[in-house]
Amino acid sequence: MNKSHPRPSLLWAAPVQSDTLSGRIISQVRAALFSSQLKPGEFLGSEATIAEQFNVSRMASRDALRTLEAMGIVEIRKGIKGGAWIAKENPDRFADALSIQLQLIGVTADEIFDSQLAIETRAAELAAVRASAQNLQDMQEALAECKSAKGDMHAFTAASIRFHELVVVASCNRVLLAQFRALRFVLQPLLEPNTTDVVARRVIRSHTTLLRAISGGNAAEAGEVMRKRISQVRSRVVSPQPPSQYA
């Protein structure tokens, strides 16, 4: 008798009756996850038990599990303890997937800066209220890295984006952080070609002022400093143009 894990009790599952059998399984698993009937790390079942539970073929069960795995919803394990498990959190996987989709749909620079402005202005305000001593130390170290990388525009841009990321980390808001980490991949190619020595000095002054506002707990000033910095960068990178039309 296999005692590696208990037989799953999928009380939320209903027999699937559709031409898209695997799609219905995927929809029900997603619904159960969002309603908290399924939780991260929980055993979903094997290919065979899921097929039995949903009253579908092993092929439909296999197709559903492959898609759920590709979506990052489940982890498939092989061997005696094999089967499908609800995945544990991995924000970086979300960020990577979203950044790829942003690139594929061809987001404009205007859209990117709109998003950055919304995410980071709020993050700076929250950081001024929530930042820990460790957060402040990390930002101070990132600022020092910016200063030391001033002669290398590639290294400087990476260090500056790292400083921005640490501000969002200090906001203690995982939704803002996940969105920023997706945005940074499409943001860096816009910033690096426009980073000069003069720009680097302005950025360092802005970062210094922002860190002072966050350290002092001044949310309004922190938000305003971030807003001005992003707006200045935007005006340098993006030529004024009408809003894009979504096709």
- pLDDT higher at 245 or 112: 112
**What pLDDT digit, counting tens, does each position of 120-169 carry?**
999 999 999 999 999 999 999 999 999 999 889 899 999 999 999 999 99
CB 8 within 8 A of CB 44: yes
10 Å Cβ neighbour count for 106?
Answer: 9
pTM for this predicted structure:
0.74
The pLDDT of residue 243 is 45
Q: Which domains does the chain have, with CATH numbers?
A: 21-86 (1.10.10.10), 92-237 (1.20.120.530)
177-206 per-position pLDDT tens digit:
999 998 988 888 888 888 888 999 999 999
Task: Decide if pLDDT at 111 tops 50.
Answer: yes
Instruction: Give yes or no for residue 245 having a pLDDT over 80.
Output: no
pLDDT at 84: 93
Confidence of residue 227 (pLDDT cuts 50, 70, 90): very high
Q: Are strands 74-77 and 43-45 parallel, antiparallel or unpaired?
A: unpaired
Residue 207: is its pLDDT beyond 90? Answer: yes
* Percent of all residues in the chain with a pLDDT value above 90, rounded to a whole number: 59
